[in-house]
Amino acid sequence: MTASMDALFIMNSLTMGGSERKSVALCNALEAAGLRTGIAMLGTDMTLAPQISGATQLWHLHRSGKFSWRSARRLRALVEQQQPRTIVAVNQYPALYTCVATRFAIRRPRLVSLINVTHFVRRRDRLTLPLYRTILQAFDTVVFGCGAQRTQWLPAGSDALRRARVIYNGVDTTRFSRDSMREAGLELRRRLGVPADHLLIGTVGRLFPDKNQLALLQGLGTLREKGIPAHLLMIGDGPHRPLLESAANDLGLREVTCFAGAASDVRAGLAAMDIFALPSVEVFSNAALEAMAMSLPVIVTKQGGGPEMVTDGDDGMLADADHFAAEFPAAAAALWHDASRRKSMGDNARTTVVQRFTFDLMMAAYMEAFSLV
């Protein structure tokens, strides 16, 4: 008989998203600790597959349509065959399939749900929230990326709330260190044509409408109008790129805006920046944490997990997501005019990550949540 698997992750796909990248990192760390892991995917995107440890097994559930009973039966058969100690459902659809596949199971594994959705914008999402709240009652543990998200998802007094916990993202502070990438950052600035005495603002993320990157372009225009020699570096790609490029042209900012595309290693880009800005509402942005670890002052939104990551005015600044284009330029200008404050804020940002948001701290918390310690 096949040896029992320690952790089986159920995921929508292996696309280049924050939830997916974190799940791959967790799998790799569990494997490195001598545990046996696997990933079962509802979709077919395999973008992150090359980053997965060779020992981690992959299965395709071939979901089709809104809900596939055939995929649910495949998952049930897989669970019976592999006998995982813990099943980790990453976000809503995997939670639904996990709930269906393990119902009435003779040997029920520990069920853990990782929820990474911050807020509900679309009417369809708001309508399905009660359904997923019910589904989460079946899980032994529900893990949220920040306290604000937990409060939004689970009503006070619910059983799921008592079993829920918050685990913040963490980054490798040895790998993400400005000192180790200083020369690479200077070389990138030279290639971009950004002089040392100009301000380079940067961001990292998929180019999607809900990422609100248009606000960065609008804010860049305001900074340039104030006479600040500001430039913008966008690392990432996505369907919103043509619209953003068109907006940069219309605003007369194309010459000072670089669309760098997706990058598997963003450290040189971060090292080239003076300020990191993230205009979207996020659960707990790994991109912002990586920037902080690289000693960058960050400007993030006050919605979502931003206030739990950043102390406003100490290791970063907070701006309202709905008014980011108006509030972000003032914050960036204040840092531009005060180089010593910009440096001290960046130093404080790294200290915050080293003390509170390392990968090792995150991993220890997940090992406990998965009951693998």
Q: What is residue 4's DSSP assignment?
A: P
Predicted pLDDT of residue 123: 62
Say how far apart CA 306 and CA 313 lie, in whole Å. 13
In the numeric block, the tokens 């609008």 are attached to 218
Average pLDDT along the chain, 373 residues, taken 10 residues at a time? 82 88 93 95 92 92 92 96 95 94 89 79 68 90 93 81 93 96 97 97 94 97 98 96 98 98 94 98 94 98 95 97 96 97 98 98 96 84
Question: Residue 36: what pLDDT?
Answer: 95
User: Could you say which of 3.40.50.2000, 3.30.1130.10, 3.30.70.2740, 3.90.950.20 is the CATH number of the domain covering 7-170+359-369?
Assistant: 3.40.50.2000
The CATH class, in words, for 178-356 is: alpha beta
pLDDT for the residue 1: 43
8 Å CB contact between 78 and 70: no
pLDDT at residue 119 in the model: 55
Among 77, 120, 88, CA closest to 367: 88
| Calpha distance 90→282 (Å, rounded) | 16
φ/ψ bin of 327: left (φ > 0), alpha (ψ from -120 to 50), beta (otherwise) = alpha
Class of residue 370 by CB neighbours under 10 A (exposed 0-12, middle 13-18, buried 19+) = buried
Burial tier of 288 (Cβ tally within 10 Å: 0-12, 13-18, 19+): buried
Query: Cα dihedral sign for 325, 242, 284, 145?
Result: positive
Look at residue 315 in the predicted model and tell me its pLDDT: 97
Nearest to 263 by CA among 204, 210, 216, 213: 204
pTM score:
0.92
> Same CATH fold, 178-356 and 7-170+359-369?
yes
E strands in the chain: 7-11, 37-41, 57-60, 86-90, 110-115, 141-144, 164-166, 199-204, 230-235, 257-261, 275-278, 298-301, 316-319
Consecutive H or E run containing 29: helix 18-32
The SS3 of residue 274 is: coil
Check residue 212 and report its DSSP letter: T
Judged on CB neighbours under 10 Å (0-12, 13-18, 19+), 189 is: buried
Domain ranges of the chain: 7-170+359-369, 178-356
With DSSP H G I counted as helix, E B as strand and the rest as coil, what are the percentages for the chain, rounded to 5? 45, 15, 35
| CA distance linking residue 163 with residue 113, whole number of Å | 11
